[in-house]
Structure formats: C-alpha cells, structure tokens
Structure 1
Amino acid sequence: MKSHQVIKESCKKRGIKSIASEIGVSSSLMYKWSQPYDGSGSGSKNPLDRIVELINAIQDPIVIEWICEQSGGYFVRNPESRQEENYEVMPATNEIVAQFSALLGEISQAAQDNTIEKKESEKIRQVWNALKSFTEGFVLCCEEGDFKRIIEGEEKNQTG
C-alpha cells in the first residue's frame, strides 16, 4: 500500500476533517496527503513519505523504534532473505526454546525476593526484546524454509 493510501484508509473511520482539526492542519492539506504525489498533480508529499526519507537519511532504526514505542509497540526488523535448500528445523527450534527459557530464568531470578527492582526489570526487558526479535526472524525463516540463517545470525550476535 502506498503512503497516500494509508492516510486515506486510516482516516475513513473518524473522518479527514476531524483528524485535520485534531492535528492542527487544514482539511484540504489532509485531502492532498491522501492523494498520490507525483510532483505535478494535486497530491502533496505527506508526513509518511517524509518520515521514510528521514529514516533512510539517518540510516539508524532509532526513529522507527521511537515511533513504535509512542504507539505502544516494538519495532522488529525482518531479517534479510537468503533462502538455502539445506536447512535444519531442530537447531532453530531449540534456539527459540532456549531464548524463551532464558527469559523465564531472568524473571524467576528477579522475582525471588518478591520484588523486581528497576535494574532487574531493565534486564527482563532486554531479554524479552531479544526474544521478540529472534522470534520474528524465526517466523520469517519458517515462511521461507531457511532455518540455517537464523542460527548463523544468533551465532553472530553471541560473538559480536
């Protein structure tokens, strides 16, 4: 879906006028953002296009991560696709189970005294975020049938 289509679709429920008023822009600008931009037509370069330009210029996921946090979510980058014919399901499955076990271990260790300190919660968050990222990569590898790549990626993370 193109950025102008995302804006158009996302505004259908509440209405462009209502959203324009809430964010402090004119309805006509919102309508322009919801039309294709080609530099000569009635459309206008919209904030989504500008955010993509900013992300590409910065070349760091920090902007995406911040947007996801502001929206109550978490950014997980999809690993690059390098499907290979020879793959092994069990090592990848064992790795995801091991990471989940590590998360449970952190939680158990932190909760032993019936309180979880800030430093402990930060460590739990770190392990949880690593598990979410690994699991997203695992699911992509499942979809592509490339389990060797996920183990190679994990080995690189442990040594680097």
Structure 2
Amino acid sequence: MAGADRLQAGGGGLTSHEVLRDTVNKVGTKVVADELKLSPAMIYKWCQPSWGELSSGERNPLDRILALCEAACSDKPVKWLCEQRNGVFVRNVALEFDGEPAASHLRATQRIVKEFSELLGTLAESYSEEQGVSPGSAACIRRDWEDVKRAAERLVRACERGDFSGERAGGNGRRGDV
C-alpha cells in the first residue's frame, strides 16, 4: 500500500505509528484502551511500525483512513475528522512559480490579496442585497475562503522551501534562508 505508515503530520516527517505513539503517550495506553474499548495490546501494536523487522503486523487507524482515502480518491474522511476536531483540511498544492523567485513571490502575494478581496466582496454584496448571508452565498464565501487558504499555503510552502531567499547556498543548488 503506497503511503502505508508514512502519514506526515504537520510537516514534521512523523510516520503514522509515531503520531499515534506520541498521542497515546500523553494520556497513557490504558486510558486510550479503556476509552476505545480495546485491549492495551492492540493500542501498543498501533504504536509500532506495521512493516519491517519490528512490525506488529497490525495496520493502525491512521493507515486505514489513508488507505480508504486513496482507494476512494476522496479526502472526505479527513475533512470530516478535521471538522470534528474544530479544524479544517487544506490540501497542499503544487509549487509552481514562473520566472524569478522574487517576481513569483510578488505574484503569489498579489493572488492571495486578490482572492481575499473577492471573499470580502462576496460577503459584503450578499449582506447588502439580502440583509444577511443566504446559504447559497455562504457556499460561495466558503469556496472563496478555500481558494485563499490554498494560495496562502502555496506561498508559505515555497518560503519554507527557500524559493524566495534571493541567494543560492554554496553550490548545492539549494537556496539560502528566507
């Protein structure tokens, strides 16, 4: 299974079993097992690699959700989980910038401002015309907000990658610090 046990968490490079291990360790295996009505042994297995020499042989819930999303070509389960935890899912976008990084940086920033402006325009127009925000207008506002988040995420990832530093690090092809 592509990506099995390789779930990335917040860019930290953690595998799914490491995420579960860190999460379970905060409250203890027994507490989690009791809450989920499972044996502590099962919880321990989830916190071990599901592949390799130290394999528990048991796919953990994160790996299963990832497999479900891949099999169904859908992010809906992840979006639902994010909503249940009072958050939102924002898919990372491809980093594609044309020309010089500084010029691309400016265009990317302008795109974020433009998309946020469109969001505010949609909200203001909806409110003034309808004396409130209709469900249809709310859907448009949500769509515009998702566009703003994607544009901002693209820009932040490019900055983290060092695309806009303006100087190359000594001969290794990587850019210096932002």
Decide which of 100, 107, 118 is 1:91's aligned counterpart. Answer: 107
Query: Unpaired segments of 5 or more residues in structure 1?
Result: 147-160
Identity of aligned residues (%): 34
Of structures 1 and 2, the one scoring higher in RCO (CA 8 A, sep 6+) is 1
Instruction: Write the deviation string for residues 85-112 of structure 1: whole angstroms up to 9, x where unpaired.
Output: 6231322221111111111111111222
2:148 maps to 1:135: no
Which one has a larger percent helix, Structure 1 or Structure 2?
A: 1
SS at match of 2:86: coil
RMSD of aligned residue pairs (Cα, Å): 2.3
- TM-score, with normalisation over the residues of structure 1? 0.77
Instruction: Write the deviation string for residues 36-67 of structure 1: whole angstroms up to 9, x where unpaired.
Output: 22377562221112222222222332332232
Decide which of 118, 129, 134 is 1:102's aligned counterpart. Answer: 118
The alignment of Structure 1 onto Structure 2 pairs a total of residues equal to: 146
Query: Unpaired segments of 5 or more residues in structure 2?
Result: 1-13, 165-178
After superposition, the Cα gap between the structure-2 partners of 1:42 and 1:54, relative to the gap in structure 1 and judged at 3 Å, is: same
1:26 Cα shift?
1.3
**In 1, Cα distance between equivalents of 2:145 and 2:97:** 27
Matches within 5 A, 1:1-160: 1-38=14-51, 41=54, 43=56, 44-81=58-95, 86-87=100-101, 88=103, 89-112=105-128, 113-144=130-161, 145=163
In structure 2, what residue type is equivalent to 1:38? W
Bigger Cα displacement from structure 2, 16-25 vs 112-121: 112-121
